Every structure is written in C-alpha cells, then in structure tokens.
Amino acid sequence: MSEAISLHRQYLAGDFSLVDRLSQHLTAVQAHSHLNAFVRLFPETSREQAEQIDRRRADGQPLGLLAGLIVAIKDNLNYKGQPLTCASKILEGYRAPYHAAVVERLLAEDALIIGQTNMDEFAMGSSTENTIYGPAINPHDAQRVAGGSSGGSAAAVAAGLVDLALGSDTGGSIRQPAAFCGAVGLKPSYGRVSRYGLAAYASSLDQIGPIGKSVADVALALKVIAGADRRDATATAQPVDDYPAKLSEQPGKTPTIGLPRQFFQDGLDPQINAAIEQLCDRLKQQGVSFREIDLPLSDYAIACYYLIAVAEASSNLARYDGVRYGYRAEAGDLENMYIRTRSEGFGDEVKQRIILGTYVLSSGYYDAYYRKAQQVRRLIKEEYQQAFAEVDLLLTPTTPTAAFRLQEKLDDPLQMYLSDIYTVTANLIGGCAISVPCGTTKEGLPIGVQLIGPPFRESDLLQGAALIERTLHAF
C-alpha cells in the first residue's frame, strides 16, 4: 500500500486535521533547516488552504486524490503570486504571474503545497551546490551532497518533510538526487507531463516528474500531473493510465529485462555493481529473465547530451536581459546594462554553459557540433528502439557512485558531468525512467537502481519498479 494513499484514506476517515498536520510539517522543516532543502515556504497560503480543505471534509464535500498530503515543488515551477528565482540572482524580485500546469493539477486534487525547494541554478548541476541559497544537504550524511539539480526536493522527501515533491529532469536531475537520498524518482516520457510554467533549461530534454517514498507514491503523483495541455504543444494527448490501479493488477507476463554492458564497465563503484548483481539474482528467483544488451553509442551520450543541452540553454536564457523582469544592473547605457546584468545575475556554471551553447550554435561550428549531436541523438534513439524490440525494460545503475562529498567535484566539471552518465540517454530518447533504492554502501549511503522504458510505457515501468521494490523488501 502506498504511504500517500494510506494517508489520504486516513484523512478522509477523519483521523487527523490537515491544519494540525501542516503545523507539524512546518515545524519539522524548521527543525531540519540544516538540510537547506527549501528556499521558501508558503505558511499563510497553505494554512488557508488547509482550513478550507478541513471545512470541506466536515461538510461532506468530495475531496481530491491528494487531500491530506503535504507536497513541495522545485523553485523552477511557477506558483502564482510567489517568488520564482530558479536559485539565481537574475530573477531577483520576480513573482510568478500564473500557476504551472502541474501546480494547477496538484491544487485541483487538494494537495497542500507548502513551499519551493532548493536546486542548482536554472537546473544546471548535479549536486545542488550551484545555487544562491547554499547547497542542499544529504539527510543521510551532512557532509554529502543531496544530488542535483532537484536536490532540495529529494532531500525533503527523504527526510520526511513532505509526502511528495516535484522536480524537473533534463539529464537525470530527478533520478540522480533520488538515488543519492534514498527516494524513488520518476522521469516521465517527454510529453507525458505539461511543461507549461516550468522555467526552461533545455526544451527538448526537460520533463517534470515526482519524487516519493515508494513506487506507488510516484504512481499516484503521475496520475495527477500527467496529460494533455493546450498551452504546451509538446504535451501528448495520449490517454493517461490509472497508474496506482495498474500496480495492483497482476502483470500479464514476467518482464524480460536488458542489462546494457556499457553501463557495467570501468567507473562504476564495486559496491553499486554488487548490489545490482544481488538484486538480479533475487529477481531471477521471481521468474524475471535477463538478457545482455549492447548499446555502443552510449559511449557518446554524455557528449551528445551536453552539446544539445548547452545550445538550448543559450537560446532559452537569452530572455534574462534585465529589461523585462528580474535583476537589473545599474549602467550608463543599454549595452553595458545587458553585460552587467547577465555578468552579475548568472552564476559561473550557468555562464559557462551559455558561452558553450553560443559557441556550438555559431555559424562556424553549428554543423560540426550541434547538428552532429542531433544526428547522434537520432542514432542513439534508434539503437534503443532496437533494444526494446528484444526486452521490455533496461536495468542500469542510476549513478556511478553514491553521494559524493560537498565541494568534492566543484573544481572538476567533467567529473561532475559524469554523475549523469547513466541517466542522460533516457532524456535523449524521450523515454521514461525511474530510480528505486537498492540497498546501501558500507558507509550507509543509499544506492539507486534505474529502470528505463520506451516512451509512454510508464505503466510497464512502474510495474517493473514495484517488482524490484517488493523483491528487495522480501529479503
């Protein structure tokens, strides 16, 4: 049983007051302020909503699927009337003029959104250290990162500060922090969830998804936020399954799972490799069959991903110029105002990616870099299509290591980028992917295992993840 669904049913039964539960969670956030998971809370707004939901329950009115639950959203999702900074100085003073589509859907189902969580600036990072608010801290070890860029959301869920949280995933930014913090993180297929109201990083890669304590929890969240949206041309009109109900159904057959050999080579922590080998042995006892898969183009995935991501970031972030909204530097003329605003408003990592993106889009290098990366992306997608013709899902590590120490990789961008080596391909192909806890290291740090599925096969993916969860709990 999903903890979130159980809490919802307890609330409907009158077992607790939402106002009281809100107070308890706000107190817990303050008590765990050292985690730096939140950048702002909405105490007045959320209390008014809690009182309203409590009154509706008392009056016998119907309530939404998330009534009774405490939820957080990442600081790149618009919440009308509240600040939105994307953890960047350049959005200083900006307030969201409308709700993001996912926020509308959460509120429509009576979720109580208590605040916005810490993140890497404009979602560019793998540790939630590139932020004006200071780093998010891993709840399992105060000397370790929470992962990124959705580190605040993962830390909030793992520490029990919220029941569910939303993040965004451009190349692993939901799954990697979920793995580091010991939570479940789901990246839906591209187009499954509307991006309306998400501050864009790389538009062809970004996807909003949930982080929860269990597979059933994220299935419930996905049911709420998924679906078509006329305001987002990339949001698919494909029907949305009842994902929680699908988890309770008996699967038609035991899945065949592929193990890509390129994901189990040098660079993978032996403890993570051993944990996954042990999981596979236990799954075989459940009747799961495995097949080794060759995905040679995976070796080019990181380079391909970062070329496309920085190019799209360069284009998307051009709007932050000091003229229309946010931070504006004082200067004597327009050109210097542009230069000073962007120089002072953006952090080093964001400036680095904008410069790289502008370079690969420039007339002399467009064909050599950006166009070539898009061609390789197409080949990677075709390679995965061939793999999914042979197997139902792919099983891989989520990350090459467990959570690393604070500041350990800040001076080595390449090593930081390699934190996403196992996650970026799901974004490149537009598929769905999930990270599920898979034991701990000898230091007590969580290990994550990743399942990757074809586009719009979230039901199969969630069933496979639930099987992993049950298998691990049985031992």
Beta bridge partners of 70: 112
Q: How many angstroms from the chain centroid is the CA of residue 12? A: 29
Give the separation between CA 449 and CA 185, rounded to whole angstroms. Answer: 11
Catalytic residue, from 173, 298, 419, 435: name it.
173
Write the CB contacts of 464 (distance below 8 Å, at least 6 apart in sequence). Answer: 255, 257, 392, 393, 451, 453
Where are the alpha helices (H) located in 287-396, listed in sequence order? 301-316, 334-345, 348-361, 372-388
150: nearest Cα among 133, 183, 175, 132: 175
Residue 74 designated active-site = yes
Residue 187 designated active-site = no
Element (H, E) at 472: helix 458-473
If DSSP codes are grouped into helix, strand and coil, which group holds residue 448?
A: strand
Residue 33 designated active-site = no
Q: Are strands 393-397 and 256-260 parallel, antiparallel or unpaired?
A: parallel
Q: Are strands 289-293 and 393-397 parallel, antiparallel or unpaired?
A: unpaired
Q: What is the DSSP letter of 456?
A: T
Beta strands (DSSP E) in 57-131 are: 70-74, 112-117
Give the separation between CA 355 and CA 444, rounded to whole angstroms. Answer: 39
Catalytic residue, from 46, 126, 127, 149: name it.
149
State how far the alpha carbon of 388 is from the alpha carbons of 53, 237, 247, 452, in Å: 45, 23, 21, 10
Catalytic residue, from 74, 213, 223, 409: name it.
74
Active site residues: 74, 149, 173
